[in-house]
Amino acid sequence: MVTSAAPSPRKRVVLLGATGSIGENTLRVLAAHRDKLELVGIAAHSKWEKLAAIARQFDVRHVGLFDDAAYSAARANLAAFPAGTHLVGGLSGLVELAQLPAADTVLVAVVGTTGLAPALAALAAGKDLALASKEILVLAGKFVVAAAKKSGAKILPVDSEHNAVFQCLEGHPHTGVRRIILTASGGAFRDWPAARLAHVTPADALHHPNWSMGPKITVDSATLANKGLELIEAQCLFGLRPEQCTAVLHPQSIVHAFVEFTDGAMLAQLCPPSMTFPIQHALLHPVRAPGVDSALDFTKLLSLEFRPIDESRFPLLRLARETMAAAGVAPAIFNAANEVAVAAFLASEIPFLAIPRVVEHVLATIPNFEPADLPSVLVADTESRRLARLKILDPQP
């Protein structure tokens, strides 16, 4: 007798940062795979009207807004949301969403480190964590990895390079890995003469050649702080030594990472520069399904270039590598100072070349130490932000 197989249950997803660049790409993946994925919770910082539209489109009843004023505005306009919506506010609201009993996977795509508490809450509740917010791992990677180990939940990398490494490593014992090589597009100023960098405006920095992303990560791509954060993220996610984590310039952003094994063989992962590829991989893992965007087409001219990175042009990459080697709270200090400096650059408070100066100053001022617990990392993070602001307000040496 032939029996038809029961349809596999849909994976239920909570999406924190639904209104952002990763959020929008995730919604495209969810819309294309409604038979396999169900959106059950969403959150944003303040764009409540956009969030209400998403809630209506995907019939989502659990909705969070971090910002108090936006939360109140949404409360006053509950009719804009599907009937029966449960609206939550603030950080505690994000944490509540991350632990929704109805969820299997939580995708954290909140810019910066605000997503740390929700990410830890999701892992503690045994939910798989699809992680875009790399800053979380740079701030508190060992605590996040420990939380996953404790509950047995998985961390599925969404960042394209890490998703690529994850795919290349599958089925290969870690002992056979010599090093990983993340690719870097080189950002907006890859081909600018160094002398022009002194006059860069926020608008210049927000023009990325290959990727369309949120403002903070676009500036980080132009300074290559992003690649520095990603090396630290990779070290933490894959349990590597600092010297095993390297990067190469690849202007086309088609190869996302290489894994080099001890015998000298390398595996690479390739796909066009669209975040729908790694997002879909992380959400459907281990299932493969047709992609949302077109795959590479070898009937068209395609050339791939790779060049070493000139670190003298990108001091933040050097500083990030140094903090990775120093370990302790140095990566957290780097991340916090960089976040504050980038915000100040975007607000036209400091010039582009002052971003690494602020970060270097803060790193040189705060003594490094090995954190015994999460609160001591958070103290270093807060102190780093305070010192970065002071340096921005008084840039004299």
- In the bound complex, what is the minimum distance in angstroms from residue 20's beta carbon to Mg ion? 15
Which of these, 207, 211, 189, 206, lies nearest to 198 by C-alpha position? Answer: 189
Q: Which does 19 bind (CB under 5 to 8 A by kind): ligand NDP, Mg ion, none?
A: ligand NDP
Judged by beta carbon, residue 18 or residue 317, the one nearer ligand NDP is: 18
**Per CB under 6 A, does 114 bind ligand NDP?**
yes
User: Cα-flanking dihedrals φ and ψ of residue 160, to 5°?
Assistant: -60, -40
Among 13, 14, 21, 245, binds ligand NDP (CB under 6 A): 21
Judged by beta carbon, residue 159 or residue 339, the one nearer Mg ion is: 159
For 76-119, the DSSP string reads HTGGGSPTT-EEEEHHHHHHHHHT-TT-SEEEE--STTTTHHHH
Measured at CB, which residue is nearest to Mg ion? 159
- In the bound complex, what is the minimum distance in angstroms from residue 217's beta carbon to Mg ion? 8
Q: Which does 17 bind (CB under 5 to 8 A by kind): Mg ion, ligand NDP, none?
A: ligand NDP
**Per CB under 6 A, does 47 bind ligand NDP?**
yes
Residues that bind Mg ion (CB under 5 A): 159-161
The residue written with tokens 């290959």 in the block is 210
Distances (CA, A) of 175 to 143, 169, 171, 243: 23, 11, 12, 15
Report how far apart the first and last C-alpha atoms of the chain are (Å, whole number).
82
Judged by beta carbon, residue 160 or residue 218, the one nearer Mg ion is: 160
- Asked if the peptide bond before residue 286 counts as cis, ω within 30 degrees of 0, the response is yes
Name the token pair of 376: 């001591």
**Per CB under 6 A, does 225 bind ligand NDP?**
no
Q: Which does 43 bind (CB under 5 to 8 A by kind): Mg ion, ligand NDP, none?
A: ligand NDP
Q: In what order do the strands lie in the sheet with 86-89?
A: 86-89, 62-65, 37-44, 11-16, 105-108, 128-131, 155-157
**Per CB under 6 A, does 159 bind ligand NDP?**
yes
**Per CB under 6 A, does 41 bind ligand NDP?**
no
**Per CB under 6 A, does 340 bind ligand NDP?**
no
Contact 214, 275 (CB under 8 A): no
* Cα–Cα distance measured from residue 152 to residue 346, given in angstroms and rounded to the nearest whole number: 40
**Per CB under 6 A, does 54 bind ligand NDP?**
no
Residues that bind ligand NDP (CB under 6 A): 17-23, 43-47, 66, 94, 109-111, 114, 132-135, 159, 211, 213-214, 217, 275
